[in-house]
Amino acid sequence: MSNLLYLYGLVPSHEATTTPLPSIKGFDHDSVIYSISLNDVTAYVCELDSDYYSEETISDKINNDMEWLQEKAFHHHETVQQLAKQYTIVPLKFCTLYKSEDSLKHTIESNKEKLKETFKLLEGNEEWNLKIYCNDEQLKKKVSESNASIEAKRQEISQLPPGRQFFEKKKIDELINQELENEKNLFCEEIHEKLKKISLFGSIKKNWSKDVTGRKEKMAWNSVFLLPTPNVEEFIEEIKLDEETYGIDGWDFEVSGPWPAYHFSSFT
């Protein structure tokens, strides 16, 4: 049985011929990553023994062997990151496998126009991530003291008979929590829209839980941006300014990049 091809990413061939590929160990730590030139597109791959890396075996490892998964996912990420530092790359998802070089060639040929457009989009641009965290208790204090809806509710309750006031005051905490979430969403949306103005694209992603982040603060926002390289410094400075301005209210900003453009390129 022939070996499988593990695909890391696709780059424009004119870049691949200009910049030599450094020696990088492959997925199994024995093979070496190499390039396959397919006209205008060059694929970076390594070979894997199909007896040891069948679809069933990999699926079982992913579902049942966390140590293996972490090691291999880290290898994939680090390899694609290294390639992204040298080339305009369309990064592939973890464990993208092809049964043969012909199969890979056919897929690339079928998507050559889409790839051409993607390379054009990514060239000279970088993907950056912004996560916004919030100390809810700290912000809740400010919301409780300054929110107009909460103040109006307090005024309304103060006009009620004492017996009814007791029960209505219990609803204040519920209202504060509701207004807290509203204020968090509005704040993050405003930050996002401001940063989109200096980006080509901005996309909102799912928030991570505390179990994933390892932080005591809740993640309030998770977004990615595709930035022209000359705009990166302005992007970072804007975020630093926001942290200086709003950190006192419990906001914390975590910016990272550049990353391989997983969110702004798509290839299966």
Q: What is the pLDDT of residues 199-218, one digit of tens each?
A: 999 999 999 999 999 999 99
pLDDT score at 111: 92
The position carrying tokens 């107009």 is 148
- Are 6 and 27 within 8 A, CB to CB? yes
149/169: higher pLDDT: 149
Work out the angle between the directed axes of helices 148-158 and 136-146 (0-180°, nearest 10). Answer: 60
Which helix H or strand E contains 141, and what residues bound it?
helix 136-146
Q: Cα–chain-centroid distance for residue 130? A: 8
Q: Percent of the chain at pLDDT above 90?
A: 69
Residue 200 and residue 96 in contact, taking contact as beta carbons nearer than 8 Å: no
Q: What is the pLDDT of residues 86-137, one digit of tens each?
A: 999 999 999 999 999 999 999 999 999 999 999 999 999 999 999 999 988 8
Average pLDDT over residues 152-177: 66
Mean pLDDT of the chain: 89
pLDDT in tens, 8-49: 999 999 999 998 888 899 999 889 999 999 989 999 999 999
Tokens of 12: 């424009």
Sign of the Cα pseudo-torsion (100, 103, 108, 109, in order): positive
The length of the chain is 268
> By C-alpha distance, which of 154, 240, 228, 155 is closest to 191?
240
Neighbours of 33 (CB within 10 A): 20
The three-state secondary structure class of 18 is: helix
pLDDT for residue 156 is more than 90: no
User: Which pLDDT value is given to residue 20?
Assistant: 87
Q: How confident is the model at residue 181 (pLDDT cuts 50, 70, 90)?
A: confident
Q: Are 132 and 253 in contact (CB under 8 A)?
A: yes
Partnered with residue 251 across adjacent β-strands are 134
Share of the chain above pLDDT 70, in %: 88
Cβ contact 81:259 at 8 Å: yes
